[in-house]
Amino acid sequence: VSKHYAENIVLNQLDLHIPAGQFVAVVGRSGGGKSTLLRLLAGLETPTAGDVLAGTTPLAEIQEDTRMMFQDARLLPWKSVIDNVGLGLKGQWRDAARRALAAVGLENRAGEWPAALSGGQKQRVALARALIHRPGLLLLDEPLGALDALTRLEMQDLIVSLWQQHGFTVLLVTHDVSEAVAMADRVLLIEEGKIGLDLTVDIPRPR
């Protein structure tokens, strides 16, 4: 797949296969195409050339199976925690939202406002908001980058634990190589729009 912005080639005939259920981390320099790859997978952008497929189906046709977390939690400040988790859902969703909050350790904060939460707690709410949809593909665009060191380690463990429980596919973009090795089955290095290194992390869990 390729992605160009005018004369700027961000992804250059990048060829990548990710088996279902794998945890993949993507590292590389700023501007190397990591976040562009995530946006293509999320359907936020379209490729200049090539296809993005889930099996034989264009990924754009099953976007409801994909969820994305960003560096900022993107919570609505005028909605409660549980309403942020259930954002956009219809019908009887509150029990599912409570279960998602319980999975991230925030079941007791359901009725509070986002302003009352720490940065790490806000990211847990964002994670619960992704989990309630039971995604097949979870895209993580440096979601832990703004957290302090201890909170970051806790969130790493939480994300890995939930991935092991639910079996969804994860693609994590990070600048932190140690984080990539600690969390992922496989680490990709993107250089100049291509995969410069594809490394299997053969280290027993927990790491």
Burial 38-68 (b: 16+ CB within 10 A, else e): bbbbbbeeeeeeeebebeeeebbeeeeebbb
pLDDT at 67: 94
pLDDT at 124: 96
Average pLDDT over residues 81-106: 95
Q: Which CATH superfamily is domain 3-76+134-200 in?
A: P-loop containing nucleotide triphosphate hydrolases (3.40.50.300)
Average pLDDT over residues 182-192: 96
User: CB 153: neighbour CB atoms within 10 A?
Assistant: 14
Of residues 63, 62, 36, 64, the one with CA closest to residue 50: 36
Kindly report the pTM of this predicted structure. 0.92
Looking at the DSSP bridge assignments, the partners of residue 140 are 69, 172
Looking only at the bridges linking them, the beta strands covering 23-27 and 169-173 are parallel
Residue with tokens 């290095």: 189
Q: Over the chain, what is the mean pLDDT?
A: 94
Structure tokens at 65: 């199976």
Q: What percentage of the chain exceeds 90 in pLDDT? A: 83
Average pLDDT over residues 165-181: 96
Q: Residue 160: is its pLDDT beyond 90?
A: yes
Residue with tokens 């960003």: 70
Average pLDDT over residues 65-70: 92
Could you read off the pLDDT of 9-62 as tens digits, one per residue? 999 999 999 999 999 999 999 888 999 999 999 989 999 999 999 888 888 888
